[in-house]
Amino acid sequence: MAVNGVKRAFRYRFYPSDAQAAELSRTFGCVRKVYNLALAARSEAWTRTERVNYNQTSAMLTAWKKTEELAFLNDVSSVPLQQTLRHLQTAFTHFFAKRAKYPRFKSRKKSRKSAEYTASGFRFRDGKLTLAKMTEPLDIVWSRPLPEGAKPSTVTVSQDAAGRWFVSMLCKDSSVKPLPATNSAVGIDVGLQNLLTLSTGEKVANPRHERRDRARLAKAQRKLSRKAPGEGANRRTARRKVAKIHARIADRRRDLLHKLTTRLVRDNQTLVIEDLTVRNMVKNRKLARAISDVAWAEFRSMLEYKAAWYGRDVVVVDRFFPSSKLCSHCGALQDKMPLHVRTWTCGCGTVHDRDVNAAHNLLAAGLAASVCGAGVRPQRSTPGGQSATKQKTPRREP
């Protein structure tokens, strides 16, 4: 159930000076180094059936700073270094609880460049943010204002593969309140031909973001493949061009999903979706690219946390529910329903649009499950919503 005010991360782009960029780059490198050192120490202890906790790795960090080899760790703020140890502790907590795999070492080339600062590591005054070890505030593009009276509790600075710099501020947003309750409910069927099909009959076309830039992306990737291996300037430039195209695709996709999920949550009290195993579905080599482009998992994640914010219910129907093969008029179940069949006629004479029929069936199953609490197979409950299956103990994903 939603409560008044939530913690939200407000992300902005900024343009650092040369000195700030150099300082942040050093910090990213030190954060990665400390994380890998602590992971190596904990892994070595793990082989001896021993466990090392955060306090012990924090003591190790103090000792590392006193050595000649790692004295450079003193040149950056200690706050991000302590935070990366806390992140490692969280990763091990999830591993021991069997919610995640064993933590992996961070690669200099592939790992995300980021550093997290708590309140003691930055100063936010008069709308200006200054990080530790810096004398000048960051040149932030304020694309939207922070909530009135909000003060960041945590600041995360990052640089993506395209070379863009971002700062994310975690704030308490008191403007997020439950919306007035309504009686409206909608079934949502996701697909490839249409991004979404609603039980109301509305269809949201699939914009195919990746396909629009596929030629440009392929050309940039061919140029990158012809560059000599190593860390040469030409290869870095070519790699950044590829990353910029990927970033453009991801930005457009995310923008559309935010608009769609916000509209759906505002207009409906109950939203019924299907539990899809996207991780297994992308193993189909013929459909993997198309499935990745529609970002079903990201859509579900956005829908669930926005529903939790605004007091809406998300009901998740089991993945084995035959929504496409079931006649929403008479309840007859078809033996087969290949993907190429988009319309079909039931024995009762009803002509069905495959996707609209699936959305109707999902809505009916979700509403029935929300009343009786039963379903086809047990599965996890959704944050801020409920499952159209037998209920299990809810847990929040890491």
Residue 294 CA to residue 100 CA, distance in Å, equals 25
Give catalytic residue positions. 189, 274, 355
Give me the residues paired with residue 388 across strands.
317
150: which DSSP letter? -
Concatenated DSSP letters of 241-275: HHHHHHHHHHHHHHHHHHHHHHHHHHH-SEEEEE-
3-class DSSP state of 310:
helix
DSSP H or E run through 315: strand 313-317
- Taking phi over 0 as left and psi of -120 to 50 as alpha, with beta for the rest, 318 belongs to beta
List alpha helices for 77-157, DSSP H: 78-96
CA distance 34 to 84: 8
Q: Is residue 221 helix, strand or coil?
A: helix
Cα dihedral angle (58, 60, 63, 69), rounded to 10 degrees?
Answer: -120
348, 330 contact by CB (below 8 A): yes
Q: How many separate helices (H) and strands (E) can be counted in the chain? A: 10, 15
3-state secondary structure at position 168? strand
Helix (H) or strand (E) holding 159: strand 154-159
Phi, psi of 265 (to 5 degrees): -70, -40
